[in-house]
Amino acid sequence: MKRYGTFISASNEPRGLWFAIDGKFFRFMSKLADLMILNLLWILCSIPIITIGASAAALYKVTMEMAENRESYVVRTFIRTYLDNMKRATVGWMAFLTCQTVLAAAFVYGQYISEGGREALVVGIMVCEILLMLVFLYIVPLMTRKGIETNALRLAALLAVANLPWSAVLLAGEGVILLMAVRYPAFTIPVLLVVGVSGTAYMMSHIYLHVFEKAGLKTLLVTE
């Protein structure tokens, strides 16, 4: 059926409006362009390796605002957050790398002990690794929020344990991406370089917002 020169879809939304300046198509393309720019910023700011923590904090600052449909200047917000959190995020990132190094050293040590002791050690390492990754996954989006600087680590641990199903989804998502990058690098790596990192952060930001709202922390965490 035609109405005023446009076709009416089953949802009673004119299809022509999809291609209007404020239509769904252009909103989607605009968000995709923002994510591509954000992905490039994350890559460039992560090149020194030790700045990955600050880069990740800035990434989630922007994607959390995007997930809430809050208007934000992607480049300006990213750079400001990156610089403001450089010291704290770098310390957190180095602490994370130190813990990973200790776990890796423990695993290597386990290859030289008895079989029974080795199995117990491997189980302990796996448990520690899962807990470490869960805390890291939550502490990154918490890192840029004012008023919780001294409690971010404890809050991240509590949120991870109190929301185990969502925590498992977040951890599984990261695991799937890592697995695909190893098994299918020719496909996965180009996607990650273009929009994969920021796109994943954007999807995960919706989960974070749900978890924060459930915990009664949404107002504190997404506003400054």
pTM: 0.83
- pLDDT at position 9: 40
Q: Which of 86, 62, 66 is nearest to 75 (CA)?
A: 62
Q: Are the C-beta atoms of 5 and 160 separated by less than 8 Å?
A: no
> Alpha-carbon distance 70 to 222, whole Å?
10
One pLDDT digit (tens) per residue for the chain, 224 residues = 434 333 334 444 555 555 556 667 788 888 999 999 999 999 999 998 999 999 999 999 999 999 988 877 899 999 999 999 899 899 999 999 999 999 999 999 988 888 778 889 999 999 999 999 999 999 998 887 766 666 788 889 999 999 999 999 999 998 999 999 999 999 999 999 999 999 999 999 999 999 988 887 755 544 44
- pLDDT at position 151: 78
- pLDDT at position 8: 35
Amino acid at 170: L
- pLDDT at position 170: 94
- pLDDT at position 153: 85
> Alpha-carbon distance 221 to 65, whole Å?
11
- pLDDT at position 223: 44
φ/ψ of residue 85, rounded to 5:
-110, 10
- pLDDT at position 19: 54
Q: Are the C-beta atoms of 142 and 155 separated by less than 8 Å?
A: yes
Q: Which of 132, 135, 183, 180 is nearest to 155 (CA)?
A: 135
Amino acid at 149: E
Q: Which of 216, 131, 210, 207 is nearest to 169 (CA)?
A: 207
- pLDDT at position 44: 96
- pLDDT at position 100: 95
